[in-house]
Amino acid sequence: MTGEPSANQEPTPPSAEGGGVAAVVRRRFATVDTQVDRFSWLATAVVVAIAAIVRFVGLSSPKGKIFDETYYAKDAYGLISRGVEWNYKDNVPSYVVHPPLGKWLIGIGEWAFGYQDADSKVSVPGHLMTTAPEFGWRFSAAVIGTLSVLLLVRIGRRMFRSTVLGCAAGLLLALDGFHLVLSRAALLDIFLLFFVLAAFGALVLDRDARRRRWARALDDGLDPSQPGRAGRPPTGWRTWPWWRLAAGVLIGCACAVKWSALYFVPAFALLVLFWEVGVRRSAGVRRPWRDTLVDELPWLVLAGVLMLGTYLATWSGWLLTDDGYYRLASSYPGSRLSDRPVIGPLINLFEYHRAAYGFHAQLDDAHKYQSWPWQWLLLGRPVAFHYAGDGVCGAASCASEILLLGTPLLWWSFLPALVALVWLGVARRDWRAGAILLTVAAGLLPWFWFALDGRTMFSFYAAPAVPFLVLAVVYVLGALIAPAGGDVGAVAPLVPGDPSYERRLVGSIAAGAYVLLVALCFAYFYPIFVGRVIPYSDWLSRMWLDGRWI
């Protein structure tokens, strides 16, 4: 399903007139490029504005550190002030088990708007302006959450060749309570989601660029049946897979937020290989798999090198100072490390990683908000970030909660959408269905394996898969709107008399009604996404599933 051609299109033999993949690529890109881009960006701006409003309004509330902000906000301030995570209360290095990039990004907001911590008696003003300290440590998450909506709009538009479907994807993500809560808290998972999605977007652009390269070569008379270099497009630094290399940097950034980004690396490599094989098969290459491996494996290796280099660069504060935990050979017993200036710190860093991995592998302590992977898409056990039973609400008793809960109607659509996506992807031989399914699998399936060992898990581990689950829903909506048997992205105007008019009209109404109902569902649960003080009875009415959400 991840191969070529796209929906309902068989490979066309190449011709001297530039047929085959050249004709297919010209036709597809004409669809993208001839759409009114001004309207596209205007529609995108509206969706992103909605996302920004619900993420930034009231960002400083509730006061104080909620859930794991107590760790990451403090670690972030240590990074921007000393270059490493630091325990200011005891004036010692902090032992942390996640890479630093997400905390560096949180620290940017603290640097800009100020930081305060009562436990360690640290209070510093912002370099740009001084606000409530909570705004400072939540600012970067809100920015990244908003930008991830922007990314999904443009990725969806690129994949489906439809501004309507791209904006639908962005709007559904903007109105997802799970994504909203992570965008309003100084946790790492929203940064992980962003970089994984950005890497995927770069690969989609790489796919388009490589197809254009083959199309130009075929137009210029390339005969792909020729052996060796004679049957391939010309090379040169201008034809390098720059977007693929950018994806390597971005996935390195994702790994530098949380190691779980590594699960996407083999999935993304498979996408590249499938897409490259697909374009060669469509062009008429005699041995598409062999030629793909010969041509593309070196680039994948280089992307891997860039990924590793990017990851190590995020540890520069730890490498360039002596303050970090485990930084010096004498920092822990039994060390046989040398004091050599380069290899010593790298070996120390390896030992640090081994110790952190041991912590994660043995993490099986019971927690009241832990959940199993098979519960996540069913919203079986969300995580309460904050709860207070006081405040002014005009009732005898009040409640304020921030619950990491997906918008129920949207999340309960994910499993049916995935089933439909498998059916549609196989029937239509659509690369988009395969790409979405593969990335969802990379984001969810590894956790089922770890569940066998009884490892402690939380629903926010599913965060990187959420944009791709939304794309699965939008794919199905596109199938409802498209002409019978037509491409998912063929969202053309409804014209009476068209053979598919009635079916498309019903599909369009159903798709629009679905998005509207998701918006209404989001509005109903909005108070418990942002910690608004409401009457206790109103709060209790939102605690569904026989109290599993309490």
Q: Are residues 261 and 337 in the same domain?
A: no
pLDDT tens-digit map of 117-164: 988 889 999 999 999 999 999 999 999 999 999 999 999 999 998 899
Q: Are residues 249 and 338 in the same domain?
A: no
Which pLDDT score is estimated for 30?
45
Neighbours of 293 (CB within 10 A): 15
- Please identify, among 304, 335, 362, the residue that sits at the C-terminal boundary of a domain: 362
Rama region for 547: left / alpha / beta (φ>0; ψ in -120 to 50; rest): left
Per-residue DSSP letter, 542: T
Owner of token pair 């309490």? 550
Q: How far, in Å, CA of 30 to CA of 28, rounded?
A: 5
Q: Are residues 199 and 310 in the same domain?
A: yes
Which pLDDT score is estimated for 365?
76
Report if residue 340 sits inside a domain.
yes
Q: Are residues 302 and 246 in the same domain?
A: yes
Concatenate the DSSP letters of all residues of 267-302 into one string: HHHHHHHHHHHHHHHHHT-SSHHHHHHHHHHHHHHH
Q: Are residues 203 and 283 in the same domain?
A: yes
Which pLDDT score is estimated for 546?
73
Per-residue DSSP letter, 497: T
Q: Are residues 332 and 277 in the same domain?
A: no
Q: Are residues 222 and 294 in the same domain?
A: yes
Q: How far, in Å, CA of 518 to CA of 538, rounded?
A: 20
Confirm if 402 and 539 have CB atoms less than 8 A apart.
Answer: no
Which amino acid type is present at position 289? W
Q: Are residues 239 and 273 in the same domain?
A: yes
Owner of token pair 């908003």? 146
Distance linking the first and last C-alpha atoms of the chain = 41
Nearest to 317 by CA among 327, 309, 307: 327
Report how many domains make up the chain.
Answer: 2
Report if residue 398 sits inside a domain.
no
Residues paired with residue 404 on neighbouring β-strands, in sequence order: 383
- Ranges of H-type helices in 187-263: 189-219, 242-255
Contacts for 48 with CB less than 8 Å, ≥ 6 apart? 146, 149, 150, 153, 170, 174
Which pLDDT score is estimated for 64?
93
Report if residue 60 sits inside a domain.
no
Q: How far, in Å, CA of 141 to CA of 149, rounded?
A: 13
Report if residue 301 sits inside a domain.
yes
Residues paired with residue 384 on neighbouring β-strands, in sequence order: 403
Neighbours of 477 (CB within 10 A): 27
- Please identify, among 314, 336, 370, the residue that sits at the C-terminal boundary of a domain: 314
Q: Are residues 240 and 304 in the same domain?
A: yes
Owner of token pair 């297919």? 24
Contacts for 423 with CB less than 8 Å, ≥ 6 apart? none
- Please identify, among 314, 339, 371, the residue that sits at the C-terminal boundary of a domain: 314
Q: Is 350 helix (H, G, I), strand (E, B) or coil?
A: helix
Which amino acid type is present at position 377? L
Q: Are residues 357 and 303 in the same domain?
A: no
Nearest to 198 by CA among 261, 286, 120, 107: 261
Report if residue 305 sits inside a domain.
yes
Q: Are residues 207 and 279 in the same domain?
A: yes
Report if residue 498 sits inside a domain.
no
pTM for the whole structure: 0.91
Q: How far, in Å, CA of 262 to CA of 111, rounded?
A: 30
Confirm if 54 and 176 have CB atoms less than 8 A apart.
Answer: no
Full domain range(s) for residue 259: 195-314
The low-confidence residues of the chain, meaning pLDDT below 50, are 3-19, 29-35, 331, 333-334, 338
The helix or strand, by DSSP H or E, that contains position 154, with its residue range, turns out to be: helix 133-160
Q: Are residues 305 and 213 in the same domain?
A: yes
**Each residue of 297-306: b (16+ CB within 10 Å) or e?**
eebbeebeeb
Report if residue 408 sits inside a domain.
no
Confirm if 522 and 407 have CB atoms less than 8 A apart.
Answer: yes
Neighbours of 394 (CB within 10 A): 8
Confirm if 195 and 251 have CB atoms less than 8 A apart.
Answer: yes
Return the structure tokens found at 514: 């679905």
Q: Is 534 helix (H, G, I), strand (E, B) or coil?
A: strand
Report if residue 207 sits inside a domain.
yes
Contacts for 347 with CB less than 8 Å, ≥ 6 apart? 337, 338
